[in-house]
Amino acid sequence: MKQMEQILPLLPDCYAESLRRLSWEGLEEIRLGTGRPLRLLRAGREEELRPQGDAPMLEDLLRRACRQSVYACADSLRQGYLTVEGGHRIGICGAGVMERGVLQNLSMPSSVVIRIAHEIPGCANDLLPKLRSSTLLLGPPGSGKTTLLRDAVRLLSDRRRQRVGLADQRGEVSAMVSGVPQLQVGSRTDVLVRVDKAAAVLMLLRTMNPQWIAMDEITAPEDAAALEQAAYCGVNLLATAHGSGLEDLKRRPLYRRLLDGGVFETVAVLRADKSYTVEELL
């Protein structure tokens, strides 16, 4: 399996044999912590693996993930994550290195979680006919928002033949390597990676003449402001947000601003089992 081939070389050798024998089907997360067994999350249930040999060194995992150059990954580490080949994201906890109140780096990692990227071509087939205007994909963590977003972008690009600009700050959606997306985002999709989401939205708007702009995870007021500007320029939007439902979203000022302003006209509400329902907002 491609996911195993991409992730296994990053993991401590003391788990390699057990992980090779393991089924990777449906695997969502791999968690490691200092002094703790490796934990696997699959369909909401945890499995444990004990090391065969010396306890793992998380510093070694980070060096492998950074291709032996932690300095080159400093920008991502400051935000607490790394994105590796295949679009898999490694979240990191440890000791923060602060300078004048600003986080400069993370050292002495104490725990990491690898969120495994899943590509499911066709999972947005039922959503595509309802993508007539700006749409928000809403759901709790682990509900498949990024997977659904990726396939919706692919379908808009290839099946609808529309121009899509993808603001992929962390590289999880496209898994871009040397300018080539490793995951299917469509032949008419222009991708910006490692650019702040708000800045990427405005760059795509100014330079690529998109019909749609897609973005994973609205998290900051700057994101909302950039989406508003794009909407006012007549571009359709496709974005994701964390939330358990519309009522939850309306209680949070950042999202209420977008809903009240009519930036999104449709919302797809995802459930933990990765099913979803589509609701019209206007």
CATH number at residue 85: 3.30.450
Two tokens, residue 83: 């994105």
Whether residue 68 is found in the same domain as residue 47: yes
| CATH number of the domain residue 176 falls in | 3.40.50.300
Q: What average pLDDT does the chain have?
A: 89
133 confidence band (pLDDT: 50, 70, 90): very high
207 domain-assigned: yes
Whether residue 111 is found in the same domain as residue 147: no
266 domain-assigned: yes
Task: Average the pLDDT over each of 95-104, 157-166, 270-279 and give the range with the smallest value.
Answer: 95-104
Q: Over 80: is that where the pLDDT of 104 sits?
A: no
pLDDT score for 141: 84
Nearest Cα to Cα of residue 83 among 66, 98, 69: 66
118 confidence band (pLDDT: 50, 70, 90): confident
pLDDT per residue over 211-266, tens digit each?
Answer: 999 999 999 999 999 999 999 999 999 999 999 888 888 899 999 989 989 999 99
190 domain-assigned: yes
Whether residue 135 is found in the same domain as residue 242: yes
Whether residue 257 is found in the same domain as residue 132: yes
Whether residue 198 is found in the same domain as residue 65: no
123 domain-assigned: no
237 domain-assigned: yes
Which of 86, 115, 144 corresponds to the end of one domain?
115
pLDDT score for 87: 85
pTM of this structure: 0.82
CA distances from 138 to 43, 272, 275 (A): 19, 11, 12
Of all residues in the chain, the percent with pLDDT exceeding 70 is 94
161 domain-assigned: yes
Is there a contact between 44 and 98 (Cβ–Cβ < 8 Å)? no
120 domain-assigned: no
Place of tokens 């997360």: 29
Which of 115, 147, 169 corresponds to the end of one domain?
115
Whether residue 137 is found in the same domain as residue 259: yes
Whether residue 101 is found in the same domain as residue 194: no
Whether residue 139 is found in the same domain as residue 273: yes
Which of 60, 89, 115 corresponds to the end of one domain?
115
Whether residue 271 is found in the same domain as residue 225: yes
Of all residues in the chain, the percent with pLDDT exceeding 90 is 51
Whether residue 134 is found in the same domain as residue 273: yes
Q: Helix (H) and strand (E) counts for the chain?
A: 9, 15
Whether residue 13 is found in the same domain as residue 149: no
In sequence order, what are the residues at sequence separation of 6 or more whose Cβ sits closer than 8 angstroms to the Cβ of residue 71?
A: none
Number of domains in the chain: 2
Is there a contact between 268 and 276 (Cβ–Cβ < 8 Å)? yes
Tell me the residue ranges of DSSP E strands in the chain. 27-33, 38-42, 45-49, 81-84, 88-99, 102-115, 135-139, 164-168, 176-177, 180-181, 189-193, 212-215, 236-242, 266-270, 276-280
Domain that holds residue 183: 128-280
121 domain-assigned: no
Whether residue 50 is found in the same domain as residue 137: no
